[in-house]
Amino acid sequence: MNQDQSSSRTLVLPRLYVIADAEMLASRGIELRRFAEELRDAGVTLLQYRDKRAGEEEVLRNAHLLTEVFRGTEAVLVMNDFPALAQQAGWNAVHVGQEDAAVVEARSLLGPGGIVGCSTHNDEQVRAAEAVGADYIAIGPVFSTSTKLNPDPVVGLEGVRRARALTKCPLVAIGGITPENAASVIEAGADAIAVIGALLRSGADPGTLVQEFLEVMPLTVPPQ
C-alpha cells in the first residue's frame, strides 16, 4: 500500500472517504471482510476503520483483516482514535476527534511520515487543527445524521465554505451526505466527502453505492 504522503502540502485525497463503522456493520449483519472486499472491488482508496466498543485485541485483528483485503492496492487505511494501535497494525494514518488522542500525540507515535486527520465542528476547531499540524481536517456534520448518538450541531454548506476559507489543509466533509447532495458539498469547497451509513442502504450493495457517489461528484474543486 502506498501511504507515503507526509504533509498537508502534498497530501491529495480521493473524492470518497469511506468509514467502516464496526458497530453499524454489526447492527445490519454485514461482515467486515465482505464489506471491505466490495469497497476494494469498487475502487475505494481511502478507508477509515472505526470501532468505539471493541477491545484492543479485536481492533487489531480487524485491522490485520483490512490490511489483507487491501494488500496490493493503493489504498490508505486510517485508524480511528487509536494512534498506538495504528502503529501496531503497520498503518501510518490515524484520525482523531476533539475528545480523542491529540494530533500532537498521534504525530509523535506515527512520525513525520504519518498522516493525521482531525474532526472539527466549528471555526475555532478548524483553526486549532491546522495550527497543531493536522494533515487533513474533517468538518461536520454538514447535514443531519443518524450515525452518532449525540451528534454535534449541523454546520451546513456554509460551514464547509467557512472551513475552506480558514484552512489550506485538505478538507473532508462528513455528516448526512448522500449521492443527491454530494456534488453541492464538493462545490462548497470540500476536497473529499466521508460516508458511513450512506453505503449501508437496505437492498443495495456497497460497491454499487460507491459508484453512485463517484458518478455525481465533480472531478476538480472549483477555485475559492
Q: Is 71 a catalytic residue?
A: no
Which residue among the candidates 9, 33, 148, 168 is catalytic per the annotation? 148
Q: Catalytic site residue 8?
A: no
Q: Which of 137, 138, 135 is nearest to 148 (CA)?
A: 138
**137 CB neighbour count, 10 Å cutoff:** 27
Catalytic entry in 15, 50, 162, 164: 50
* C-alpha cell of residue 79: 485508524
Q: Which of 40, 119, 162, 164 is catalytic?
A: 119
Q: Does residue 53 have an active-site annotation?
A: no
Active site residues: 50, 119, 148
